[in-house]
Chains A and B, each alone.
Chain A
Amino acid sequence: MAHDSGSRSFNLKVMLRDERFWKIAFQVITLVVVFLLLSFFLSNLNRNLIQMGRAFGFSFLRNPAGFSIGESLIRYRPNDPYWRALTVGLGNTLTLVAAGIALTTLLGTAAGVASFSKNWLVHKISRAYVGLVRNIPLLLQLFFWYFAIFGMLPNPANQIGVLGLAFLNNRGVYIPWASSAVLAVLGIAATVGAAIAAFYLWQWRTKIRIETGVGGQKQSIALAVLGLVWLAIIVFGMNWTIPEGIEGGGVTGGLRLSREYVAALTALVFYTSAFVAEIVRAGIQSVSKGQWEAARSLGLHAGIVMRLVVFPQALRVIIPPMNSEYMNLTKNTSLAFAIAFPEMYSVSTTTYNQTGRPVEVFVVLMATYLILCLLITLVMNQFNRAVQFKER
């Protein structure tokens, strides 16, 4: 290097041997190649769109949609604009995602914990369920549930009643529900609020009991009162309507869950739960054996050891991969389109077919799913922070 610093002349040979030069050059080349590729694709796109007479733009979203949608959370008529139709689709996707995540968490955790059961049958069933469901494509399972299970239920004239509270026929499932949408939303909000309050009360009680060894009665009473208030709201405040079978077939009252919705939800829950079960199993296995043995030797019985000692530690390992399972579930709701459930993807393709605007529709679709996945990640990161090691 000595002779080099003396002469200020540009030395190509030295530069070519310098790793720093290559690091910069490689990045510049990558940028140029990506830029060229993108501009090639985008100029082609522009030319093709102009040739088709459809310049890029989202103003078409204000045009009347002109197609009807089978089920909807919000009021929708065929001459409403496209953006409203897409909102209906998003609403339907959200109902699938919300119910799907809740049920998947329950079933998946149950199946994961069941694989540690002392009962040989329960253990084997859990393993067989995971091995069977994970190796069959979701779309096939979806068709199976829709056509071969829910499609083969009796017609409304011979519908199946469940304890006089719910009805099943080949048009869907009928369950008791609040008499108005506002009440239903209030009920769900009350449930969520009560759950959060109960969680913090419980933590407070545990903290007091850990610190002083006694006490916590006040918190227990508060918990009981909270539970009673919630129960009162749910039982008396919701103005329940119970589905009633009509003479000759059909149902009035209650909430009708369409066959499409029920089949999509069942397939998604069964499929995703198998993956969640594996995550939960791996998480529980990651807790060292000594923790289990120490808790047992303190005289706690197996159920309590699982709930208070092993599971909280397993959560650290469980939560990060759960995030990606919830995201998979969200993205997989788009398959419900194949059985004609009007969710986001389904409404989007109808919009594309009617307007012939693939690029705009795809941008809307992509943005929607990206935002949904991002929201899930945000929430899960909060949970993750809550269960991580509190290191000093």
Chain B
Amino acid sequence: MTTVTPDSFSSARPEVVGLGPVAWAKKNLFSDWFNSLLTVVIVGIFAWGAVRLTSWAFTTAQWRVIPNNFGLFMTGTFPSGLYPRIWALLAIVCGLAGLSWGVLGRNVSTLFSRSVLIGLGLVCAFIVLFPPTRPSSLKLLPMVALVAIAAAAGRQAGRKFPGIGKWVSLAWFLSYFAALWLIGGGLGLTPVSTNDWGGLVLTLFTAVSGIALCFPLGLLLALGRRSALPVVRWLSTAYIELVRGVPLVALLFMGQVMIPLFLPVGSRPDRILRAIIALALFSAAYLAENVRAGLQAVPRGQNEAAMSLGLNTPTTLGLIVLPQALKIAIPAIVGQFISLFQDTTLLSIVGLAELLGIGKSILANPAYLGRYAEVYLFLAVIYWLFCYAMSLGSRKIEEKLNTGH
């Protein structure tokens, strides 16, 4: 993830104002003989590729592998009788998402602008038309409505009680435990063994847990590496450099095999927990470097000014330095979260049935022999959507926090 800096020269999108399509094409596609050749060759290759791809998608490809296994892709081998719990979880997430959207957008003049309405309409149309989601459209359409209603309610509440943002954050925090309870059962619900957790639900769960664990750890490591106390600095540096020198697969392998060895005889934490720990320990080292870059970008004067006002080290860090450093580091931090999300695919190597893992086991089914391209393309679209949404969100936060001139 790199910061998007404004285009500085030549590549900047050409000004097309007042240019007819022919003039535009002449300027941007056929400006000299080399560009013309390039354009012709590229268009040729693309046309050939498009023809091949369409003919594959409509003749050779057998897409039924997707709708037939849609439940598996989403929830793995989660018992189908307990699906209402997953729906409840989705409802909680949708409600909270709508609420946050409403609270954040409380000062916007129209919450449901035309583009938002078009977007919602497209989502509804997609749910009804896309074959895998069509059977459950009666459950998915109310979810969309829930998001919209919660947004409207959140806007009203946000205007009435300006301090409601904290409560929404608290609700998100509590929803994590609600998710744990709804997926895993216990406390009055039928328990579901972690062997039956899988699919997109497991991917999102491990990613969220990993992010929640690695952020505070990475923050502490970054502060430790910048600390004036030599012992703390050496220990943090050693940890960061050691972890960054090892591939994640090796750490996951250690998580699965060696965490039980490091604990008292007989204690064996759950394998999903072990995987999450390894994932968080790995990402924390990278996150620490991103936060450190942010810390280094805060001018020294800020620190000195805070000190001369009589603030002690913890308050200087917490009130003056960190808020500025984190603001600078947001793009890099979100980039790290995106790669953590992508890294959850490696859990399939250590035998967890997350999205990619469940794809592999579906492909092992003789009924879907050789349907690699279909399954992997479908998974690629899902991963791409989530990663793209995250980077889009990071850009929005950046814009919101950008108080510079």
Contact = CB atoms under 8 A, between A and B. Distances in A.
Contact of B247 (A119, A345, A349): A345
Contacts of A51: 265
A360 to B, nearest CB: 11
A118 B253 CA distance: 48
Tell me which of A120, A331, A337 has the highest count of chain B C-beta atoms within 10 A of its own C-beta.
A120
Given A122-B38, A125-B42, A352-B257, A152 B373 contact: yes
Interface residues of A, number: 68
A92 to B, nearest CB: 15
Contact of A120 (B28, B244, B253, B260): B28
Interface stretch (A6-14, A27-35, A174-182): A27-35
A165 B16 CA distance: 47
Contacts of A138: 342, 345
A55 interface: no
26 contacts: A41-B262, A41-B263, A44-B261, A44-B263, A48-B260, A116-B11, A119-B29, A120-B14, A122-B42, A135-B338, A135-B387, A140-B383, A143-B356, A143-B360, A143-B376, A144-B373, A147-B376, A289-B9, A331-B247, A331-B248, A345-B250, A352-B257, A359-B261, A362-B253, A365-B246, A370-B242
Tell me which of B231, B248, B265, B391 has the highest count of chain A C-beta atoms within 10 A of its own C-beta.
B231
Nearest to A138: B342
Interface of A: 23, 26-27, 30-31, 34, 41-42, 44-45, 47-49, 51, 115-123, 125, 131-132, 134-141, 143-144, 147-148, 151-152, 278-279, 282, 285, 288-289, 292, 302, 327, 331-332, 334-335, 337-338, 345, 348-349, 352, 358-359, 362, 365-366, 369-370, 373-374
A370 B231 contact: no
Please classify how large the interface on chain B is, using the bins under 10, 10 to 19, 20 to 34, 35 or more. 35 or more
Contact of B254 (A42, A135, A362): A362
Given A45-B261, A49-B261, A143 B7 contact: no
B308 interface: no
Nearest to B16: A120
A292 B9 contact: yes
Interface in B1-37: 2-3, 5, 7-11, 14, 28-29, 31, 35
B232 A136 contact: no
Interface of B: 2-3, 5, 7-11, 14, 28-29, 31, 35, 38-39, 42-43, 228-232, 235, 242, 244-250, 253-254, 257-258, 260-265, 338, 342-343, 345-346, 348-349, 356, 360, 363, 372-373, 376-377, 379-380, 383-384, 387-388, 391
B11 A279 contact: no
Tell me which of B5, B228, B247 has the highest count of chain A C-beta atoms within 10 A of its own C-beta.
B247
Contact of A139 (B261, B265, B345): B345
B262 A136 contact: no
Contacts of A373: 244-245
Given A118-B10, A140-B379, A338-B349, A278 B2 contact: yes
